[in-house]
Amino acid sequence: MQPNNIVIFCISKFDENICMLQPWQQGKVIKIENESLSVKKFFIQAESPAALTFKPGQFVTLDLPIHEQKNKRWRSYSVASWPDGSNVFELLIVLVPGGAGSTYLFENVQQGGMLTYRGPQGVFVLPEVIDKPLYLICTGTGIAPFRSMVQYMHLNNIPHKEIYLIFGCRNLCDSLYRKELQQLQQQMPGFKYLPVFSREAESVTVKKGYVHPVYETLYTASPTESLFYLCGWKNMIDEAKERILQMGIDKKNIHLELYG
């Protein structure tokens, strides 16, 4: 992952200088759940009993025993949960074929096991005052920081404008937090959950396609100064960044978090 000149809130997760700002600590895996066929949720309890404080959108870095060189052991994941007064946080992790980190987590980590981590940290976070519409655009497990953001906003009654969570994946069975976000759409004023599926047939309940036409259509219908947050795989981020700039959005309003 490399810093990009339009990144305002996001700095590389693997920037060693930033990672060194916090000490390593131990966390206990208290629960593991399947979210889809290739994605698991890991619930980790911090060693300190104090409430875990962080900003929605931040990430933790795991130090996994998969290589002799320390920087090749590190894997960073956005926190999918939100500050709730507890010392437990949730990670949403996809099994990457041939990926040493995710393979270790899926095959070797069990409930009751310990993980070494540091964080949460990072600057892919919302502004203190949300006075512009938000376009939260993601693919795959890139939905994790956005789930943290919108749930935190809802539960703490944080004032906001319109929020469009545009989530892309291949199949309906791959949709993450689907029922939860559908329910949140009914409960949270101004929040729209807009999933699209590249390999499903179009139907009344399923929209086939990719994320790009969704935000382009929405913004064209109501062009106003907005904030765009992008999280997911590099190919989607690169294309979305270019399209959004072509829409006339100021680069200071585009914020990125790349996966992979």
The two three-digit tokens of residue 126, written as one number: 């919302």
Give the per-residue pLDDT at 260.
59
Question: Looking at the predicted structure, is the pLDDT value of residue 201 above 90?
Answer: no
pLDDT of residue 259 exceeding 80: no
Answer whether residue 143 shows pLDDT above 60: yes
CATH superfamily to which 16-121 belongs = Translation factors (2.40.30.10)
pLDDT, tens digit, 9 for 90 and up, residues 34-70: 999 999 999 999 999 999 999 999 999 999 999 989 8
DSSP 3-state percent helix, strand, coil across the chain (nearest 5)? 30, 30, 40
pTM value is 0.89
Average pLDDT in the chain: 90
Other beta carbons within 10 angstroms of residue 249's beta carbon come to 20
Q: Say which range, 16-20, 103-107, 110-114, 132-136, has the weakest mean pLDDT.
A: 16-20
Phi, psi of 114 (to 5 degrees): -115, 145
Scanning the structure block, which residue is given the tokens 């559908």?
Answer: 182
Task: Kindly list the domain boundaries of the chain, sorted by start residue.
Answer: 16-121, 134-259
Q: What 3-state DSSP class applies to 56?
A: coil
Listed residue (113, 46, 34) closest to 79, CA to CA: 46
Second CATH level (architecture) for the domain 134-259: 3-Layer(aba) Sandwich (3.40)
